[in-house]
Amino acid sequence: MTHPSLAEMIARLHKLPAMPAVAMELLSSLSDDNTEVDALARRIAQDQAIAARVLRVANSPFYGLQTQVGSIRDAIVVLGFSSVRSLVLTATVVSGLPAGRCPGFSQEHFWRHGLAVGVAARNLARALGHKGDNLFIAGLLHDIGRLAMVVVAPDDYARVIATAHEQDCPWQQAEMSAFGYDHADVGAALAQRWNFPEDIRQALAFHHAPSGGTPGGPAGLIHYADAIAKALDLDGAEDTQLPHLDPATIDALDLDQHTLARVLAETQEGFDHCSLLLG
């Protein structure tokens, strides 16, 4: 059976719904020091469903606010633009990129896992003294190539899922066997098409093989965060497999047991509250 080549898959990516306009503006703001926060807050507030999800999280016990936050502008003032941007991006992307129909593929599990990796990556970055905003977004979107494959070739991808179950192997291994490329390759192409910041593109391209980028860089952090999310079983899937961690990434991040335990606890707590964004 012939599957679409990588070039054919990329050519068909137009079938994937366009990234929501607000999400694209927020992604652009990651590398723009002159972002008009007030104007962006007004744009976000126009989508009442998204604003409601974000405010639900902002007012959760996780942030411990003394007063109720009633608007996106208030949330930015209290929590900071970077925190609100991450929350809005999550709510916007999750609601704006439907997966279509593919037997064996759960959109709920997909986004729960992406959110869990984003939370874990942000906590890892902070523990290592780095900024976590871009890494949260990279974690959220790290498997976006898989979503694209499901939309573009649902029947082919359903067979990939079946093969992974039958052979008890990771989905990306079944992808390579069937297509000759995997979701990381498709994700990298999609990130290029949508003009994602370079560190996010690197993370999407190399999160399963961080030695192809920089083991201690964005791809390595997402690789490690992926393992944390799966170890905590935050996606709720019954067949989650723990990935093999790249030794060079383990050495590069050099996490001690105390720091790792703190990151695990913070990830569990952060995910429990951020999951309110999923609807």
One pLDDT digit (tens) per residue for the chain, 279 residues: 577 888 899 888 877 777 778 888 888 887 776 778 788 788 888 888 888 988 998 898 888 888 889 998 888 888 888 888 898 889 888 888 876 789 999 999 999 999 999 999 999 999 999 888 889 999 999 999 999 999 889 999 999 999 999 998 889 999 999 999 999 999 999 898 888 888 899 999 999 989 876 778 899 999 999 999 999 999 877 666 677 889 999 999 999 999 999 999 999 999 998 888 887
DSSP 278: G
Coil, strand, or helix at residue 217? coil
Residue-range domain boundaries for the chain: 18-96, 98-279
Residue 66 carries which side chain, given as an amino acid letter?
A: Q
Closest CA to 186 of 61, 29, 35, 9: 9
Coil, strand, or helix at residue 243? coil
CATH number of 98-279: 1.10.3210.10
Q: Are 233 and 17 in contact (CB under 8 A)?
A: no
Task: Match 């890892």 to its residue by tokens.
Answer: 124
Residue 264 pLDDT: 96
For the purposes of burial, counting CB atoms within 10 Å of the CB of 52, is it exposed (0-12), middle (13-18) or buried (19 or more)? exposed
Residue 86 and residue 70: Cα distance in Å, rounded? 18
Coil, strand, or helix at residue 126? helix
Buried/exposed code over 84-99 (b: 16+ C-beta within 10 A; e: otherwise)? bbbbbbbbbbbbbbeb
Residue 167 and residue 103: Cα distance in Å, rounded? 17
DSSP 277: G
Coil, strand, or helix at residue 19? coil
Residue 213 and residue 190: Cα distance in Å, rounded? 18
Instruction: Quickly count: other Cβ atoms within 10 Å of residue 208's Cβ.
Output: 21
Coil, strand, or helix at residue 171? helix
Q: Are 17 and 98 in contact (CB under 8 A)?
A: yes
Residue 181 and residue 149: Cα distance in Å, rounded? 11
Taking the CA atoms of 46, 48, 50 and 54 in sequence, report the sign of the dihedral they define: positive
Q: Are 141 and 114 in contact (CB under 8 A)?
A: yes
Closest CA to 264 of 238, 229, 215, 240: 229
Residue 129 and residue 168: Cα distance in Å, rounded? 37
